[in-house]
Amino acid sequence: MAASTGIVLAVGGITLGNELLGAALRGQQWSATSVNWRVIPATAGLALALAGLERIAPGFATGLAWLSLATVLIVPFGRQPTPVDNALKILGYAK
């Protein structure tokens, strides 16, 4: 397994978990319309792409994976707020 693969799987897991949590916080059932299930093949594609890039430039591929992890935590994607915003809402620090 390439060094960037674990990081990319964490990115996909955080994104999918945020989608599921966001749907639950809005009171929706988990379905194809409330959750963006395209995250799973996108994560697999990114993991394969970075594993291939890691053969050419290992440091760059791993750094890109870490950058994607930082980005997914603070930038909202899709219909859901960021995982940090959801955590603040669950803990009672935000409305």
Question: Residues 68, 8: contact at Cβ < 8 Å?
Answer: yes
Query: Averaged over 11-40, what is the pLDDT?
Result: 81
Measured CA angle at 55 (ends 52, 56), to 5 deg: 100
What letter does residue 54 receive in the DSSP assignment? H
Q: How many CA atoms lie within 13 A of 31 on its CB side?
A: 5
Q: By the 8 A CB rule, do 35 and 23 touch?
A: yes
Summarised one tens digit per residue, pLDDT across range 54-92 is 999 999 999 999 999 999 999 987 778 899 988 888 898
Q: Do the beta carbons of residue 32 and residue 89 sit within 8 Å? A: no
Distance, first Cα to last Cα, the chain? 41
Residue with tokens 């929706």: 28
Confidence of residue 8 (pLDDT cuts 50, 70, 90): very high
Pull the structure tokens for residue 64: 């890109």
